[in-house]
């Protein structure tokens, strides 16, 4: 396992180094020389990568993790409520969220920003800032925006997993003992659904990370993605690895944990 992770990490580092040479190929060496190796450009000014990178990383990851947790909470809540409804209504809700999933993140961002401005003009009530002003940090709308599409994806996944779990033998045994569907869902089914969700964590993370690029640009957030887009050479390599390595370690732990969990569940089933 460790050897496999070492190969995976080595591939990531080599890939990042190769990508870092692309600006030189497209724009030439002279543009590369205009910046120092440890600097990034923002608004026509050069900034030092250190210690800025730590603050930017923390800001971006706060938004990312908060959006993921909020999206997961929404998905589980809607899934649980859906299980209490008739099957016909469940299909309508599932179809509605399938339609919402087709909406691009940029469209959601614009709708939220326009809505906030419209409410402010009509009522004078400012729900929250829709863009960074000077060096102030905003959290509410970036977190809300970034959580919407993952919440929809997680709802669809948890809904399908939950229906699959509800047809398993242990659920029928629990029903025969007189337990209600609500009790079975909360105490048994959701636990197994959450364990199964770990398998989708890498896909959802990559999806959210790609949307974070758009989010930081549109909301004018000065996060780690902004630095990544405005660095070259060594500074670019450091910035990308700053994001890639921690999450690579996290996904390695998740993979090991899910493998142990699957073994435990197989032993229980036997």
Q: Assess whether pLDDT exceeds 70 at residue 16.
A: no
Residue ranges in 34-128 assigned as alpha helix (H): 49-83, 87-101, 105-123
Dmax over CA atoms of the chain, in Å, equals 76
For residue 63, what pLDDT is reported?
A: 93
For residue 65, what pLDDT is reported?
A: 93
Rounded Cα gap, residues 17 and 29, in angstroms? 16
Q: Assess whether pLDDT exceeds 80 at residue 126.
A: no
pTM here is 0.79
Q: Please, what are the domains in the chain?
A: 49-263 (1.10.3720.10)
For residue 70, what pLDDT is reported?
A: 94
The pLDDT tens digits of the residues spanning 53-88 come to: 899 999 999 999 999 999 999 998 988 888 888 888
**Average pLDDT value for residue range 29-46:** 65
The pLDDT tens digits of the residues spanning 140-197 come to: 888 988 888 888 888 888 988 888 888 888 888 888 888 887 788 877 788 788 777 8
pLDDT above 90: percentage of residues in the chain = 6
Phi, psi (degrees; rounded to nearest 5) at 209: -65, -40
* H or E segment to which residue 253 belongs: helix 233-269
Terminus-to-terminus CA distance in the chain, angstroms? Answer: 26
For residue 20, what pLDDT is reported?
A: 58
Rounded Cα gap, residues 245 and 145, in angstroms? 26
């Amino acid at each position: 396992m460790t050897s496999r992770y070492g190969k995976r990490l080595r591939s990531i580092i080599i890939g990042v180094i190769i990508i870092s040479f692309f600006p030189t190929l497209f724009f030439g060496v002279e543009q590369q020389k205009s910046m120092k190796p440890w600097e990034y450009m923002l608004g026509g000014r050069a900034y030092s990568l250190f210690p800025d990178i730590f603050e930017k990383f923390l800001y971006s990851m706060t938004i990312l993790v908060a959006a993921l947790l909020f999206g997961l909470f929404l998905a589980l809540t809607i899934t649980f409520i859906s299980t209490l409804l008739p099957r016909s209504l469940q299909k309508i809700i599932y179809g509605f969220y399938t339609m919402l999933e087709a909406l691009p993140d940029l469209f959601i961002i614009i709708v939220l920003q326009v809505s906030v401005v419209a409410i402010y003009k009509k009522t004078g009530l400012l729900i929250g800032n829709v863009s960074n002003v000077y060096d102030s940090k905003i959290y509410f709308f970036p977190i809300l925006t970034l959580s919407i599409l993952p919440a929809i994806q997680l709802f669809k996944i948890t809904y399908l997993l939950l229906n699959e779990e509800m047809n398993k033998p242990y659920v029928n045994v629990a029903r025969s003992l007189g337990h209600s569907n609500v009790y079975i869902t909360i105490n048994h089914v959701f636990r197994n659904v959450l364990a199964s969700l770990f398998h989708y964590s890498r896909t959802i993370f990559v999806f959210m990370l790609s949307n974070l690029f758009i989010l930081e640009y549109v909301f004018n957030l000065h996060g780690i993605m902004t630095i990544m887009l405005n660095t070259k050479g060594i500074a670019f390599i450091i910035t990308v690895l700053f994001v890639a390595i921690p999450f690579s370690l996290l996904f390695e732990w998740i993979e090991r944990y899910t493998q142990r969990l699957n073994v435990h569940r197989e032993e229980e089933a036997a």
